């Protein structure tokens, strides 16, 4: 059995919970989760990757077992979550790493990359957007409306996203055989969402999400200039971030590997082995970047 450690570290007075496995001298793979989950979403992936990688998966503030302060005491923005993640990496002494981002993890990871471009050895995006093409319009319209006008009416349209039906749907939509999805995953998320004050924290992040789109040109420029290796492994049936978001990486990272699997938003619950295999194959490109070797670009 792979030894997976469950630890906490103090970052500016906040407790950050994280899972860690793998040798200390292996390339670091930083796993950044999405909404409404936590590092729990990586519970099967971590032991599958540990060894070739040193895998580190924190819970964002307001999620999982990390601190969830009141909105009066913490600014629930993606800038703030990224700042805590930078402090977390500093506390662990991690200075170079590959990113694995999903959903909310993507805008957090992009901020890390823009703040320290040379620190990132590779990018694995699993249904984590960096392009306008990825947004499924019907899903995102109420989010954009709330971001533009935080009225009680627009809030009321988003509150169902905190409830049982919406959370369960995030796991089961686009999955050909939903019986493969362990219902404990959404029960776990719902229990943590039900903590006092977490609803206000999540609404604040819904309201802040539209600001992530302004980062995309800078992220795309970084992909072009850094030539960082990219793997986009995606549930092609995702009705939140569609497969066009995966294909778009090829525009700025022509050597990006795009793997589209017959699943949905939380691909690891139905296709964990396939994702793990793709990320393990990707390791040679990460170690090449660690050694200062970038694959040459194809002629345009």
- Positions marked catalytic: 265
Name the residue with tokens 């206000």: 200
Which are the contacts of 39, defined by CB distance < 8 A and separation ≥ 6? 17, 18, 19, 31, 33, 57, 58, 59, 64
Task: Answer yes or no: are the C-beta atoms of 237 and 264 closer than 8 Å.
Answer: yes
CA dist., res. 246 & res. 76, Å (int) = 27
CA distances from 282 to 130, 148, 273, 286 (A): 20, 39, 14, 7
The three-class DSSP label of residue 269 is helix
180-187: list long-range contacts, CB under 8 Å, 24+ apart.
180/269, 180/270, 181/266, 181/269, 181/270, 182/269, 185/37, 185/40, 185/41, 185/266, 185/269
CA-to-CA separations, 204 to 74, 128, 197, in angstroms, rounded: 11, 20, 11
Coil/strand/helix, residue 178: helix
| Maximum pairwise Cα distance, the chain | 55
| C-alpha–C-alpha distance, residues 61 and 154, integer Å | 24
Q: Write the CA distances from 87 to 10, 12, 70, 144, 238, integer angstroms.
A: 9, 8, 20, 30, 32
């Amino acid at each position: 059995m792979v030894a997976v450690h469950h630890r906490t570290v103090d970052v500016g007075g906040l407790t950050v919970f994280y899972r860690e496995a793998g040798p200390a001298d292996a390339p670091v793979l930083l796993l950044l989760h999405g909404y409404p989950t936590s590092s729990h979403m990586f519970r099967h992936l971590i032991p599958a990757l540990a060894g070739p990688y040193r895998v580190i998966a924190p819970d964002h503030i307001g999620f999982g077992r990390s601190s969830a302060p009141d909105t009066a005491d913490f600014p629930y923005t993606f800038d703030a979550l990224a700042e805590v993640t930078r402090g977390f990496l500093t506390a662990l002494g991690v200075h170079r790493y590959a990113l694995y981002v999903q959903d909310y993890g993507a805008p957090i990871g992009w901020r890390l990359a823009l703040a320290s471009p040379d620190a990132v050895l590779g990018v694995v995006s699993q249904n984590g957007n960096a392009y306008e093409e990825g947004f499924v319009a019907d899903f995102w319209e109420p989010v954009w409306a709330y971001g533009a006008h935080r009225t009680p009416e627009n809030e009321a349209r988003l509150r169902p996203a905190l409830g049982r039906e919406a959370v369960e749907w995030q796991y089961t939509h686009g999955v050909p055989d939903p019986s493969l999805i362990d219902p404990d995953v959404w029960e776990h998320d719902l229990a943590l969402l039900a903590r006092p004050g977490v609803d206000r924290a999540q609404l604040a992040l819904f309201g802040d999400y539209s600001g992530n789109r302004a980062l995309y040109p800078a992220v795309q420029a970084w992909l072009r200039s850094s030539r960082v290796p990219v793997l986009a492994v995606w549930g092609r049936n995702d009705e939140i971030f569609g497969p066009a978001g995966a294909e778009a990486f090829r525009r700025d990272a022509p050597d990006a590997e795009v793997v589209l699997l017959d699943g949905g938003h939380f691909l690891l619950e139905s296709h964990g082995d396939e994702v793990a295999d793709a990320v393990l194959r990707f390791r040679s490109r990460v170690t090449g970047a660690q050694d200062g070797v970038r694959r040459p670009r194809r002629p345009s």
